Amino acid sequence: MNDTSPAGGAASLDVSIASKDYHSASGRPLRALEGLRLTLPAGQAGAVVGPSGCGKTTLLRLIAGLDKDYFGTIVLPEHGRLGMVFQEPRLLPWRSVIDNIRVAAPQAPEDDIAALLDELGLAEHAAHFPRELSLGLARRVALARALAVKPDLLLLDEPLVSLDAALARDLREMIARLIDERRITTLIVTHDLREAIALGDRLFLLSARPAHVVATIDVPAPRRTLAKETAERLEAQARDALAAAHAGSQPGHP
């Protein structure tokens, strides 16, 4: 029915989902994804952009292997070790920040964990408990925890959502630096085009539900020094593609 496997050498993410339905006890099945294809080269960051409710989290859950109930094929990067940051940080409430990381990555050397905490500005919070952290800090801990396992694929679900503008910008820059320096193959889900252009080497634009990729746009490298005009041109191009897809899906439209 479906197949998730680490790639044999061709280290990229290759997703082809014929369909994903949710079944409720009553009523018709709800189709979340249909005919969705995307390919991400190794070491690149892909940004999945789509409207709320279109199926983005569903897609990440399939890629992460948390939901096997779909038709299609997902080929993961070599070794297939995953790091995932959910929309909610999901930290263990009875463990300190550093213990949350240790529990998730028991093999990680203490020096590596200390360096990660440092890099994410969490060193002074190592002994704090999740209830003592703001959402922005808790997201950073979730990110540190995902990175501590040295993932072959990092999955981030709306990492900046619900943060105020300044915190979102700080975390965005932190994420951009981390994925650039470490060259981790990363898939970031967002509903914000600017965020996608700031973080992604390749944009995957999704239709409304059932989601499929309506356009793939490569962001010119190096992404971090992208001229403002180029970013604006990409944003306009992406908006046009999304609008065209939306118009095409309206009943009565040719």
Ligand X SMILES: Nc1ncnc2c1ncn2[C@@H]1O[C@H](COP(=O)(O)OP(=O)(O)O)[C@@H](O)[C@H]1O
Binding interface with ligand X (CB under 6 A): 22, 30, 32, 50, 52-58, 209
Question: Of 50 and 83, which CB lies nearer to ligand X in the complex structure?
Answer: 50
Token pair of 97 as six digits = 């920040």
Residues that bind Mg ion (CB under 5 A): 56-57
| Residue 186 Cβ vs Mg ion, minimum distance, rounded to whole Å | 17
Strands 13-22, 30-40: pairing kind: antiparallel
CA nearest to 141, candidates 99, 110, 112 = 99
| Residue 206 Cβ vs ligand X, minimum distance, rounded to whole Å | 8
Question: Of 125 and 139, which CB lies nearer to ligand X in the complex structure?
Answer: 139
| Residue 9 Cβ vs ligand X, minimum distance, rounded to whole Å | 31
Question: Of 202 and 209, which CB lies nearer to ligand X in the complex structure?
Answer: 209
| Residue 57 Cβ vs Mg ion, minimum distance, rounded to whole Å | 3
Task: Say how far apart CA 224 and CA 176 lie, in whole Å.
Answer: 8
Question: Of 30 and 243, which CB lies nearer to ligand X in the complex structure?
Answer: 30
| Residue 224 Cβ vs ligand X, minimum distance, rounded to whole Å | 27
Question: Of 209 and 223, which CB lies nearer to ligand X in the complex structure?
Answer: 209
* Beta strand segments in 29-163, E: 30-40, 45-49, 71-76, 82-85, 153-157
Token pair of 139 as six digits = 């997201």
Question: Of 50 and 200, which CB lies nearer to ligand X in the complex structure?
Answer: 50
47 binds, among Mg ion, ligand X, none (CB under 5 to 8 A by kind): none
Give every CB contact of residue 121 below 8 A, 6+ residues apart in sequence: 140, 174
Q: How many C-beta atoms lie closer than 10 Å to residue 106's C-beta? A: 9
Handedness of CA 231, 171, 145, 61 (dihedral sign): negative
178-183 contacts, C-beta under 8 A, 24 or more apart: 178/119, 178/120, 178/143, 178/147, 179/45, 179/154, 180/223, 180/224, 182/147, 183/43
Give every CB contact of residue 72 below 8 A, 6+ residues apart in sequence: 2, 3, 15, 16, 17, 18, 19, 20, 36, 62
| Residue 220 Cβ vs Mg ion, minimum distance, rounded to whole Å | 28
